[in-house]
Amino acid sequence: MRVFVAGGAGFIGSSLTQVLLEAQHEVTVLDNLSKGFRGLVPEGARFIEGDLRDEEQLRGWLRGHDAVINMAAFIEVGRSVLEPVLFAENNIVNSVRLLEAMHKSDVGKIVFSSSATVYGTPKRLPISEEDPLGAQSNPYGASKVSTEAFVATYNSLYGMDAIILRYFNPYGPNELHEPETHAIPNFVTSVLAKKAIPLYWSGEQIRDFIYVDDLARAHAAVLGLSGLQYFNVGSDTGSKMIDVIREITDIAGYDVPIEDLGVRAGDVPATYASSAKLAAATSWRAEVGLREGLERTVAWFRAQSAK
């Protein structure tokens, strides 16, 4: 299959591209490198430095592909509050540009990278795809809900196969966000630097952490599906933040202080997934446990700091 990966030079996209190449797919990566890195794109993939705003070029770039995986989005929640118009333009409008270009270029399948944030505060745990979407507390979450709706609309209008993957909390090597807002890379870098870890809620919040290679495999697994389908992608396990920190310090071989920041408005106490629907549809399952994933992640960040 010829697969077009929008935003494929980043943390998740680079791992995904490697998985696709290993499965003998032909891969084109499009990235404007505002957040991605050319050096992360695996050898064997065709790379285009370009932007989804370039509508004329986009149709030509897409022509001849069988499927698109769209992960071209800004992800910083705090920045989305400060710059909501920017997030709406980049995450929503550019995704609509991509969908329209796909339609005009006869590319009939999209896999969209969504987020567990669409559920808001969960009514029950684990979260399943049948649970209702929740009110959003920031423009980032709103952009995911909006783009999901546009993807579903193109399925309704044109019969475009549309697979929506709702990520839980990805982590792993090659996470080079600037600024970094994800918990695990911030925990790891603080521990390796022997600095205090800032922590809300005494670390009692529960999250579902999914290793990046497992997440990448989920995208490849759904390429054979059709219609409009929604899937959670998580480990099916909730972990307390404080327990994650204890694992990281155990791997590092020493403790660091905790900076207790108290409570923080807007935080959800607990989220974790049921990925049973994805497993039933594709036989995909998370394979990398939290301990193993953290060991790989710590080793990668250690190697980076030694350069």
pLDDT in tens, 194-248: 999 989 889 999 999 999 999 999 999 999 999 999 999 999 999 999 999 999 9
Q: Is the pLDDT of residue 180 over 70?
A: no
Range of the domain at 85: 2-171+209-235+274-287
pTM > 0.75: yes or no = yes
Instruction: Count CB neighbours of 247 within 10 A.
Output: 18
Per the domain annotation, does 196 fall within a domain?
no
- Total domains present in the chain: 1
Treating both helix axes as pointing N-terminal to C-terminal, what angle do 11-22 and 212-221 enclose, rounded to 10 degrees? 50
Which pair of structure tokens corresponds to residue 40?
A: 């992360």
Per the domain annotation, does 201 fall within a domain?
no
What percentage of the chain carries pLDDT values higher than 70? 98
Per the domain annotation, does 112 fall within a domain?
yes
Active site residues: 140
The overall average pLDDT reported for the chain is 94
Give buried/exposed letters for 87-109 (b at 16+ CB in 10 A, else e).
Answer: bbebbbbbbbbbbebbbebebbb
Q: What are the CA-CA distances from residue 187 to residues 179, 190, 210, 283 (Å)?
A: 14, 5, 16, 32
Give the dihedral of Cα atoms 250, 190, 167, 174; nearest 10 deg: -100
- Among the residues of the chain, which ranges form H helices? 11-22, 55-62, 77-82, 84-87, 94-104, 139-158, 183-192, 212-221, 241-252, 276-282, 290-305
Which pLDDT band, with edges at 50, 70 and 90, does 33 fall under?
Answer: very high
* CA–CA gap between residue 276 and residue 128 (Å, rounded): 8
Give yes or no for a contact between 53 and 94, defined as CB atoms under 8 angstroms apart.
yes
CATH number at residue 219: 3.40.50.720
**pLDDT value of position 267:** 78
Per the domain annotation, does 262 fall within a domain?
no
Per the domain annotation, does 79 fall within a domain?
yes
Per the domain annotation, does 33 fall within a domain?
yes
- The residue among 76, 115, 118, 120 whose CA lies nearest residue 269 is 120
Per the domain annotation, does 144 fall within a domain?
yes
**pLDDT tens per residue, range 53-103:** 999 899 999 999 999 999 999 988 888 999 999 999 999 999 999 999 999
Give yes or no for a contact between 233 and 168, defined as CB atoms under 8 angstroms apart.
yes
Partners of 26 in beta bridges: 2
Partners of 6 in beta bridges: 30, 70
**pLDDT tens per residue, range 118-161:** 999 898 999 999 999 999 989 999 999 999 999 999 999 999 99
Per the domain annotation, does 306 fall within a domain?
no
Which pLDDT band, with edges at 50, 70 and 90, does 276 fall under?
Answer: very high
- By 3-state DSSP, what share of the chain in percent is helix, strand and coil, each rounded to 5? 45, 20, 35
Give yes or no for a contact between 148 and 73, defined as CB atoms under 8 angstroms apart.
no
